[in-house]
């Protein structure tokens, strides 16, 4: 997993056109409506506004086809994560939603605040939870096909 500031996105996304397209979209996230937006090639974004959840309200998840680039536009969350090795699935892989949910496990955590992003790879179990008291946030989840990264 990678955690960094938006200003450093080009260091992590090797295709300059893809990096620029994602960065331009995220820099204008304030103007984007909640919902799905095409960005570049097979890459798309889901703009979300919601009340952050507590640890007991979430399950760890992992994806196969897409990387998650999660960008916090406003507010903050704690991203919890762990390598998938040895993890026990709670659900079968859902090919349509590209997700498998996993049983609770030990994890590491880092804060994601406004202007920061995290990139989750297929081997990264992950989930985001409230940073203390639940708060309303605006977040963009960019789904990048593994084949394009």
Give dist(CA 91, CA 100) in Å, integer: 6
Q: Where are the alpha helices (DSSP H) in 4-119?
A: 16-27
Q: What is the pLDDT of residues 13-25, one digit of tens each?
A: 989 999 999 999 9
Q: Residue 108's beta-bridge partner residues?
A: 81
Name the residue range of residue 77's domain: 2-148
Look up the CATH number of the domain holding residue 111: 2.60.120.370
Give dist(CA 106, CA 10) in Å, integer: 31
**Residue 32 phi, psi (nearest 5):** -90, 135
Give dist(CA 2, CA 5) in Å, integer: 10
Q: Residue 99's beta-bridge partner residues?
A: 94
**How many structural domains are present in the chain?**
1
Q: What is the pLDDT of residues 79-112, one digit of tens each?
A: 999 999 999 999 999 999 999 999 878 899 999 9
């Amino acid at each position: 997993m990678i955690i960094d500031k938006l200003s450093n996105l080009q260091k992590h996304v090797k295709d300059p056109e893809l990096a620029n397209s994602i960065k331009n979209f995220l820099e204008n996230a304030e103007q984007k409506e909640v919902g799905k937006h095409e960005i570049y090639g097979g890459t798309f974004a889901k703009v979300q506004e919601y009340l952050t959840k507590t640890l007991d309200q979430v399950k760890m998840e992992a994806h196969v086809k897409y990387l998650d680039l999660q960008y916090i536009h406003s507010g903050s969350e704690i991203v919890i994560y762990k390598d998938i090795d040895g993890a026990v699935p709670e659900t079968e892989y859902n090919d349509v939603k590209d997700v498998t949910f996993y049983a609770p496990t030990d994890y590491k955590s880092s804060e994601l605040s406004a202007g920061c992003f995290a990139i989750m790879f297929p081997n990264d179990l992950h989930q985001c939870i409230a940073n203390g008291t639940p708060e309303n946030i605006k977040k963009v989840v960019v789904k990048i096909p593994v084949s394009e990264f």
